[in-house]
Amino acid sequence: MNTPAYTALTHTFTRLYRLGHLGALAGWDQAAMMPPKGNAARGAALAELQVVMHQMLADVRLPGLLQSASAEPLDALQQANLHEMRRDWTLSTCLPERLVQAQSLATSRCEHAWRSQRQNNDWTGFLGNFREVVNNAREEAQILSQAQGISPFDALMDKYEPGSRSADIDTLFDDVKTWLPDLVQQVLAKQASEPVLAPVGPFPVEQQRALGVDLMGLLGFDFEGGRLDVSAHPFCGGVPEDVRITTRYTEADFMRSMMGVVHETGHARYEQNLPADTRHLPVGRARSMGLHESQSLLFEMQLGRSAAFLQLIAPRIALHLGHQAAFEADNLARLYTRVQPGLIRVDADELTYPAHVILRYEIERDLINGLMAPEDIPAQWDQKMGQYLGLDTRGNVKDGCLQDIHWPSGSFGYFPSYTLGAMYAAQFFACIRRAHPDLDTRVATGDLSPIFDWLQQHIWQQASRRPTQDLVLQATGEKLNPQHFRSHLEQRYL
Amino acid sequence: MNTPAYTALTHTFTRLYRLGHLGALAGWDQAAMMPPKGNAARGAALAELQVVMHQMLADVRLPGLLQSASAEPLDALQQANLHEMRRDWTLSTCLPERLVQAQSLATSRCEHAWRSQRQNNDWTGFLGNFREVVNNAREEAQILSQAQGISPFDALMDKYEPGSRSADIDTLFDDVKTWLPDLVQQVLAKQASEPVLAPVGPFPVEQQRALGVDLMGLLGFDFEGGRLDVSAHPFCGGVPEDVRITTRYTEADFMRSMMGVVHETGHARYEQNLPADTRHLPVGRARSMGLHESQSLLFEMQLGRSAAFLQLIAPRIALHLGHQAAFEADNLARLYTRVQPGLIRVDADELTYPAHVILRYEIERDLINGLMAPEDIPAQWDQKMGQYLGLDTRGNVKDGCLQDIHWPSGSFGYFPSYTLGAMYAAQFFACIRRAHPDLDTRVATGDLSPIFDWLQQHIWQQASRRPTQDLVLQATGEKLNPQHFRSHLEQRYL
């Protein structure tokens, strides 16, 4: 193998993977374990690690190695790896140090103040810090845009969802907007007369935890290579070799925590089943945020809230939490598909969730592309919330445009990943269902292998070997087709 | 402040402190949280961190900066800091890369095989790997010896206990040997007729944990800056800003876990009370392993097993574990001062523990100085075990010279720290008692402030501002005086 430049690059990126392990662990610990007084030292340690890793990527030899490697005899996997390494290098090095520092300062100030400004419904105070966050993000978008020859907003979105373009997202989302508001109204009318029994708590935390662990086992989580813990905001963290998922418990309600565990287990299985021989290389990473979300949403929405799965787990719920009428499978299915338009995205049901995403996407797209000013956000929010979900948010920025951490922390372009994930999940599940006409029966009787086998082969083991678009085409025989998502919603909710 | 070289050095060492934070956290997690499949990736990540930190210390500019800084106008604290920085630099850079790698390979092979060889009582197999470990350690000792102008064994001991010399340790330990064997026999005779009630379990883990947390609070552990968790081998880890102690529980016996928590809380309070303004610098670190052990042993032995303290906590034990006759304070005191010579160091009582240490110290000293060959260890062990504790260990290397991880992992010169710690603890406590003739009454009624105030002022806040010998002299008005240890043992056990 005469590939000295490529080999040198993999050496550097393996070192970065190993150091990244420590950052991932420290991040998980910060959210799940760390007492409050550890926070300043932890922040300083993580920042120092970032500096060390950035210095490795900014090594003056890297551009030459990337150049030389592209002329070396690489196989397809190595070429894909080189592509990902070049992408990492570009994203890490193309921004001037001055801008990176300004962003770090502005977002940390804005995010810190946002925590109380949100409580106080203080849009004016927020705007004072937020203008600089937007200005920095626009400058970053301009630089990335020029480096890649795509629009400024696309350049930011590309960080999370490589290859996605707003022209395509516009088409997808404009279509959703033509049918979603009507569908929501139809479903609301239908569900108004549906009887639903509410579970009666309290549900002790230890019992909820045991139920969660039981479901994780059922869903194939490998406890020899991961853990379940508690954090204020549930997430999937850690490293592929040791995946750490979290949930939070309230004794009055087990449903949210239980389904949260199912959701995070979807993320976890993706990480746990990345190909072991390349997971230390960029080509061995999960493909994108949207693909990651497709796995959690396939577990939570396609599988987890299906009648067949709820039939399977109803006895387990009763086993852990005690018998009650509300735990009948039919009633669980009604509970877990209840639709109720609301102001808060993270509380939204499966059906109204896309409206929250589309609204945010349209605003951040215009904001970054310079077609909207920060001060116009509340009015746009009010107008779209009325149009898409029939809700009045005027004067309520607390439960409106100040509800998410994404913008105060400078993450523009992330929101579409949620709904792209839901669409991918619907398309994947439709494909699995086509291959297994008896899928519901198998799920209801505890055989989830058709789902896991398909995901293992077509998604998890593919990692980042090819662009998302190619991966989806190879896996399902077609490119992203939102019709599967619409059909799924209509079949489940109408 | 015209101290550019010194300032540049503190910048480097602050970076090292921040990166060390991630290593400490990952080490704690490895022992307390990590599932088994995470181990290989964790090992690779920690090794990579070591490489990065070593590269920072091996920076070619450092010798010049150390040289220049010594000519800068530094105050006493800065001079002490410079001294510690130079020491770190010397220890990290004076060994050839070849030797460091050979040591890493040999000790990791030897330690790995030792885990099963110990089970199998396989001295011959162990010796096969151990010879190289000893050869490497002798070479390291030679190099460090020449760099510092002290004997080879002293050079290894100095890594853990800066400033300690075997000439002094010999004097201390030879004295102990003149009175300890007789004292043990006297105490055994006395205790033979003493009635002791054994506590009757089981003691549920949750109740033991609550008791431990209760005692940690009583002992001043700051839970806003630390945690209590579980690991196979209890330890105090984490960082000063976030101290993580561990224990292990067996339902049949709460006594060991409870006193283990008291012990680790002593370590923890040292770390938590290092001066906040310098803890990121070498001068702000805990002084030595012996001083660290003095804090845990002051908490466990001087305070924790005293009649006054057991009187204070007896009601708390009953509160958490339920009432039983064995929890009367007098009986607890008899339980916690029970003497029984045994083969295993970590199970030894306060009185016989020094014999285990002296035996090991004498062997490792002669081994490193080339006065004994590795194959002579078992015979020496048998002879000394008979002489110091009257026990027969012939043919039983499993519970003899193969019982500790120290030698297979290449740590020679560490053992004296345990007994030095016990001696410092006795001297410190005697000093506190002199200043507070009513100490026992105050302890028994829950006022531990005389102890904490003294430690805070004389030990914790001193960190590494001065050599151990000076610190002890300043704190107690005399240099290390083993008479305090002997008096303590005689008063408690006779």
pLDDT in tens, B185-230: 999 999 999 999 999 999 999 999 999 999 999 999 999 999 999 9
The closest of A102, A97, A125, A96 to A113, measured between CA atoms, is: A125
Whether A252 has a pLDDT exceeding 80, the answer reads yes
In which region does residue B28 sit, left (phi positive, over 0), alpha (psi from -120 to 50) or beta (all else)? alpha
- Output the pLDDT for position B447: 98
- When the pLDDT of each residue in chain A is averaged and rounded to a whole number, the result is 96
pLDDT digits (tens, 9 = 90+) for A78-130: 999 999 999 999 999 999 989 988 998 899 899 989 989 999 999 999 999 99
pLDDT above 90: residue A264: yes
Neighboring chain B residues of A226 at a CB cutoff of 8 Å:
35
Asked if A241 reaches chain B (Cβ–Cβ under 8 Å), the answer is yes
Of A15, A18, A224, the CB nearest to B37: A224
How far apart are alpha carbons B77 and B278 in whole angstroms? Answer: 10
Tell me how many degrees the CA angle B63-B67-B71 measures, rounded to the nearest 5: 160
User: Is the Cβ–Cβ distance between A83 and A463 less than 8 Å?
Assistant: no
Examine the pLDDT at B243 and tell me if it is beyond 80. Answer: yes
Cβ proximity of B267 and B296 under 8 Å: yes
A438 in contact with chain B, both atoms CB, cutoff 8 A: no
Of the candidates A37, A47, A222, the beta carbon closest to that of B225 is on A37
Q: Span B447-451, mean pLDDT? A: 98
The one catalytic residue among B161, B264, B350, B364: B264
Q: Do A36 and B239 touch (CB under 8 A)?
A: no
Check CB contact of A26 with chain B, cutoff 8 Å.
yes
d(CA A367, CA A166): 13
Which letter does DSSP use for residue A238 in this model? Answer: E
| DSSP string across A124-152 | HHHHHHHHHHHHHHHHHHHHHHHHHTS-H
Q: Which residues are bridge partners to A253 per DSSP?
A: A250
Within an 8 Å CB–CB cutoff, is residue B53 touching chain A?
Answer: no
DSSP conformation class of B347: G
DSSP β-bridge partners for residue A250 = A253
Q: In this prediction, what percent of chain B has a pLDDT beyond 90? A: 95
Cβ contacts of A227 on chain B, cutoff 8 Å: 33, 35
Does A314 reach chain B within 8 Å, measured CB to CB?
A: no
Asked if residue A267 belongs to a known ligand binding site, the reply is yes
Is the pLDDT at B1 greater than 70? The verdict is no
- Is B66 at the interface with chain A, CB within 8 A? no
* Helix or strand holding residue A236 (H, E): strand A236-239
Contact in structure between A471 and A462 (CB atoms under 8 Å): yes
pLDDT given at position B328: 97
What confidence score (pLDDT) does residue A97 get?
A: 86
Give the tens place of pLDDT for each residue, B125-178.
Answer: 999 999 999 999 999 999 999 988 999 999 999 999 999 999 999 999 999 999
The secondary structure element, H or E, covering residue A319 is: helix A307-321
Where are the domains positioned within chain B?
110-204+214-219+252-494
Average pLDDT over residues B51-59: 94
Quick one: closest CA in B to A52, which residue? B52
pLDDT tens-place string over residues B98-132: 998 899 889 989 998 998 999 999 999 999 999 99
Give the phi and the psi of residue A247 in degrees, each rounded to 5: -145, 180
CA distance B418 to B287: 14
Cβ–Cβ below 8 Å for A242 and B37: yes
Helix residue spans in A436-467 (DSSP H) = 439-444, 449-458
- CB of A323 less than 8 A from some CB of B: no
- What is the per-residue pLDDT across A203-219, written as a single tens digit (0 to 9) for each? 999 999 999 999 999 99
Q: Which residues contact B192 (CB under 8 A, 6 or more apart)?
A: none
Rounded CA gap, A290 and A284, in Å? 16
The correct CATH number of A153-494 out of 3.50.50.60, 3.40.50.920, 1.10.1370.30, 3.40.50.1240 is 1.10.1370.30
Helix axis angle, B416-435 to B468-476, nearest 10°: 20
Residues making up the annotated binding site of B are: 263, 267, 293
Sign of the dihedral defined by the CA atoms of residues B480, B486, B487, B492, in that order: positive
Mean pLDDT of chain B: 96
Q: Which of A11, A14, A21 is best to mutate for the B interface (most B CBs within 10 A)?
A: A21
What span, in angstroms and rounded, lies between the C-alpha atoms of A474 and A491?
26
Which amino acid makes up residue B89? W
Q: Which residues of B touch A40 (CB under 8 A)?
A: 241
Residue A263 annotated as lining a ligand binding site: yes
pTM: 0.95
CA–CA distance, B95 with B301 (Å, rounded to integer): 38
**Top-level CATH class of B110-204+214-219+252-494?**
mainly alpha
Active site residues of A: 264
Asked if B226's CB is within 8 angstroms of A21's CB, the reply is no
Contacts of B238 in chain A (CB under 8 A): 38
Q: Which residues of A touch B46 (CB under 8 A)?
A: 22
Q: Does B35 touch chain A (CB under 8 A)?
A: yes
Is the bond into B199 cis (omega within 30 degrees of 0)?
A: no
State the pLDDT at residue B299.
98
Q: Of A61, A64, A140, A58, whose CA–CA distance to A95 is shortest? A: A140
B486 has a pLDDT exceeding 90: yes
The per-residue pLDDT for range A298-337, each reduced to its tens digit, is 999 999 999 999 999 999 999 999 999 999 999 999 999 9
Read off the pLDDT of residues B15-50 as tens digits, 9 standing for 90 and up: 999 999 999 999 999 999 999 999 999 999 999 999
ipTM: 0.94
Please say whether the beta carbons of A80 and A283 come within 8 A.
yes
Do the Cβ atoms of A41 and B223 come within 8 Å? no
Buried b (16+ CB within 10 A) or exposed e, A396-426: bbbebbbbbeebbebbbbbbbbbbbbbbbbb
CA A342 to chain centre: 21
**Residue A338: Cβ-neighbour burial (10 angstroms; 0-12, 13-18, 19+):** middle
Alpha helices in A322-352 (DSSP H): 329-335
Kindly report the nearest CA distance between residue A241 and chain B, in angstroms: 5
Predicted pLDDT at B27: 93
- Tell me how far apart the alpha carbons of residues B308 and B102 are, in angstroms, rounded to a whole number: 51
Which A residues 331-370 touch B at CB under 8 Å?
Answer: none
Contact A145/A402 with Cβ under 8 angstroms? Answer: no
